[in-house]
Structure 1
Amino acid sequence: MSEHSYSRTDVIVIGAGVAGLSAACSLREAGLDVLVLEARDRIGGRILTLREGATRPVELGAEFLHTAQNPLLEIFEDAGTATVGVGGTRTLPEGFDAQLAATLDSLAAPDRAQPASNYLAAISSEDDRALMTEAFEAQTGRESLRRTSAADAIKELHLELEHGEFMSTYNSRVPEGLDLITTFLAEDLPLQISTRVERIVRTDNGVSVIASAGGAVQIFDASRVVVTLPLGVLKNNDVQFEPPLPDDKVQAIHETISLDIVKVLFVFDGDVWPLDEEFKHTDDDIVSALWHSTYGGAPGGETVVVAWAVGDEARQLMSLRAPDVLPEMLGRVRKHLGNTALNPTFATYHSWLSDPYARGAYSHLPPGASPDARLRLAQAIDGRVFWAGEATAEWRPRTVHGAYLSGMRAAAEILAEEPARLVSN
C-alpha cells in the first residue's frame, strides 16, 4: 500500500451519521476547518432509506422522528420538507404522568444489578406494579425487561417527566425519506467516504488518524477528533487507539450493549392492513412488533408492512439460514394479518448486527451496567479525543435526535477549549 499525509486540519470527525454531521456542522459554523471521514460508500450511518421496490421511500434503519419536541422537525420545516404526524406506538391514560411521579417517589430505588423484571416483581402494590409495567413498556425499543437495567429505565422515566413528554406517544415520518436529514447536514461539508479508519493516535500536537481508502493508507492530522463510531464497532476493537483508551472508557464500552435488531419490509398491492391499530406489539417468538407505513397523504395502491424483531426475537430470527428469513417472516405476517394469500411485490430485510460498520443497532444498558455509563462514554480524553453518537446521549439515546444532540454537545466541548489551541499549525 502507498502512504501519504493529508494536510492538517482543526478537527477530524469520524463517521458521517447524524451525530458526526451535526458535530461537523456546528464546528464549521464556528469557523473551524473540519473533515468528515466515513467508512461506508454513503452517508447516513444507521439511517438507510430505500427508493426502489415501492412507490415511496421506505426505511430499513431509523424510521420515526420521536416526540413533538424533536429538534429535527425544525430542520425539516426550514428546508421546506414535509413531516407527517402518525401518532404513537402506545396511548397513555390521562393523568399518567402525575400518577407516575407520585409512584416513583414512593418506591425504593433499584439496585444497580437489578433487572427491570425483578424490580417490578418486588413491588407489593398491584396498582403500583401495573403502573410501572405500563411505564416500562412505553419505553420504545428496549430489550426484554429481564435484560434491561431497572436503574436506567427509571432514570429515563424521571427525564421524561422532567421534559414533559414520553417517547412512545407521538411519532412523525418524513414521506420524502428520513435520509434527507443527512443530506441537509452534509451540504458543503468536506467529506470523504469509503475511508475506513484503522487507528487514532494521540500525539503531542493533537491527533493522527490512520485510514485505508482505495488500497492506500492515508494519514490525517488534526488538533482534535470527534469519534462517532457505533458501540458495536468499538466493542469489536475495529479501530485501535494509541495510547490505549483509559480503563474507565473501556469499562463503559463493555458495560453498554448494542441491541440486536432485524427490520423486515414487505410491499403488498392494495390495502391489506385489517387491524384497528396502526402498530401491533406481538407475543411472537421472532416478531416483536408489526406496523404499516400507510398514513394521510401516502401514495395509494400499496401497503408497506414492517416486521420488527428486537432482542430475543432478533436472535431467534437470525439463527435461521439467510434464505429462510423472508419466507419465515412472511408466514408470520400472514398469520398476524389473518390473510394466508398475501404475496409481496417486494421484500427485503437488514440485520444491523451483520453490518460490519455498525455491528448492532442502538445502545442499551443491561442489568449491572453503571447508570453513568453513557456519561463516561461521552467524556473527552486529554482535550483531544471527543465522543458523540446515540450511545453517548444522556437524553434520548436510541434515537436519531439523541445522536444529533450528542454531536452538538461534542462540538460545544471543543469550542469551549482555549481558542489558541484550536488554530492549525
Structure 2
Amino acid sequence: MNAVSTYVSGAELDRVSSRDFLRYDDSGVNWRVVEGYGTVIATHGRDLPVVLGSPVQLIDHSGRRLRVETAHGSIAADAAIVTVPSALIAEESIVFRPLLPKKTQAALGLPLGLADKLFLSLSHAEEFDEEIRLFGRTDRSETGVYHFRAFGRSHIEAYFGGRLASELEARDDVGFVDFAVGELVALLGSNFARRVKPLKLKRWGADPFSRGSYSYALPGKADCRAELAAPVDNRLFFAGEACSRSDYSTAHGAYLSGVAAAEAVIASQKTRR
C-alpha cells in the first residue's frame, strides 16, 4: 500500500491527509498523450503572446497597479494569476510585497510529492504484451513499477516515488538505472540486463521551476487548498493543481483551476469599470 501511495501521491501514507485523499474525484478518464503534454500546451496556447526564460522574481501589490519584476524587466498590470507550484510559494521563490504569510503557510501544508520517471529502450520488445506493468518487489514499499511497451513502443517506463525517488535523486543518473536494472533482473533473469539501455530520466525534485512532481496535503492540512486558491484584493489570483479541491495532482485539475481564475479576473475587471 505504501508503494502505491508513493506513485499516487508522491509520498508515503503517513505523510498524506486522509481527508484530502478522500476528496479526490477520480473520473476514471486519464489520457496519456503520445506527443507529450508539452505539445498539448504549446498547441493550446499557440496564439497567445508568451515570453519564456523570464522568471518572475517579485510581485509588488502595494500600489494602485501591480508591479511584476522579472529577470528581463518590470511589467505593470491590473491583475495577475500566479500558477507556480506550491513548493515555490512555500520557498518564497517569488517575493510578494507586502508579504502574503497565509499563502506561504498554505503552500507549506501542500508539499510536492516526488514521482520520477526513467525510460529504458527494450530490445526484442515483441516478446512482451503491450501495456503491461510489473512491480519490482511486493515485500517492501521502496520499489519501482515498470510499464512495458506503452503505446506499443519498444521501451520500459520505470516509475519511482516517495522516499525512494528522493534517495535516488541524491545519487547520479546511473543510480536510477542501476536500481531499475537490478529489480528487472531479479524478475526476469540476469540476461535481461543486456536488453535495456537508458533513454531519458526526469528528476522532478531537481527542477528549479518545480521542486517536485505534484502536491499532497499533510495530515490536518486538507483545507490549505482553499486558502492557496483564494484571491488577494481581487487582483492577485492563484491557480494550479494544488489549488484544486478534488482534481489535484492532475493536468486537468491545473487547467480547470486556471480557467476559474481567468474567469474571476474578467469578472473583477468588469466590476472595476
Structure 2-normalised TM-score?
Answer: 0.87
User: How far 1:322 moved relative to its partner?
Assistant: 4.0
Partner of 1:396: 247
* Higher share in helix: 2
Tell whether the 8 Å contact from 1:307 to 1:333 is kept in structure 2 after alignment. no
Verify: 1:262 aligned to 2:116, yes or no: yes
Whether 1:279 and 2:147 are equivalent positions in the alignment is: no
In structure 2, relative to structure 1, the CA distance for the partners of 1:257 and 1:149 (3 Å cut) is: same
Residues 276 and 268 from structure 1, CA distance in 2 versus in 1: closer, same or farther, beyond 3 angstroms?
Answer: closer
CA distance in 2, matches of 1:418, 1:285: 50
Describe the superposition over 1:291-324 as per-residue Cα deviations: whole angstroms up to 9, x where unpaired.
13433xx4xxx52211111112212322334443
Q: Report the counterpart of residue 174 of structure 1 in structure 2.
A: 33
Kept in 2, the 8 Å contact 1:286–1:317? The answer is no
Amino acid at match of 2:121: V
**Residue in structure 2 matched with residue 291 of structure 1 by the alignment:** 147
Gaps of 5+ in 2: none
3-state SS, counterpart of residue 211 of structure 2: coil
Deviation at 1:273, TM superposition (A): 6.4
Please name the residue that 1:319 is paired with: 170
Aligned to 1:193: 52
Identity %: 25
For the Cα contact (< 8 Å) 2:90–2:105, is it kept in 1? Answer: no
Q: How many residues align?
A: 269
Where do residues 97-108 of structure 1 align in structure 2 (5 Å cutoff)? Answer: none
Q: Which residue of 2 aligns with 1:244?
A: 99
Shift of 1:335: 2.6
Q: Which residue of 1 aligns with 2:19?
A: 151
- Cα distance change, pair 368–340 in 1 and its aligned pair in 2 (3 A): farther
Residues 175, 367 of structure 1: alpha-carbon distance in 2 compared, 3 angstrom cutoff: same
Aligned to 1:384: 235
Is there any run of 5+ residues in structure 1 with no aligned partner, and where?
1-115, 118-135, 161-165
Q: CA RMSD in A?
A: 2.7
- Verify the 8 A CA contact 1:268 1:303 in the aligned structure 2: yes
Cα pair 1:287 1:307 within 8 Å, conserved: no
Q: Deviations over 1:104-148 (max 9, x none)?
A: xxxxxxxxxxxx99xxxxxxxxxxxxxxxxxx96x9345222221
Shift of 1:274: 4.3
User: Distance in 1 between the 2:127 and 2:170 partners?
Assistant: 28
Q: Which has the greater radius of gyration?
A: 1
Q: CA deviation at 1:277?
A: 7.1
Task: Find the counterpart in structure 2 of residue 411 from structure 1.
Answer: 262
Contact 1:268–1:346 (8 Å) recurs in 2: no
SS in 2 for 1:265: strand
Partner of 2:205: 353
Q: Residue 258 of structure 1: SS of its match in structure 2?
A: coil
What is the distance in 2 between the residues matched to 1:259 and 1:322? 20
* 1:386 alignment partner, SS class: strand
* Per-residue Cα deviation, 1:335-367 (whole angstroms, up to 9, x for no partner): 334453333344221111101111111000121
Q: Equivalents in 2 of 1:336, 1:195: separation in Å?
A: 46
- 1:364 to 2:210 alignment: no
**Change beyond 3 A, Cα 1:390–1:336:** farther
Distance 1:374 1:255 in 2: 9
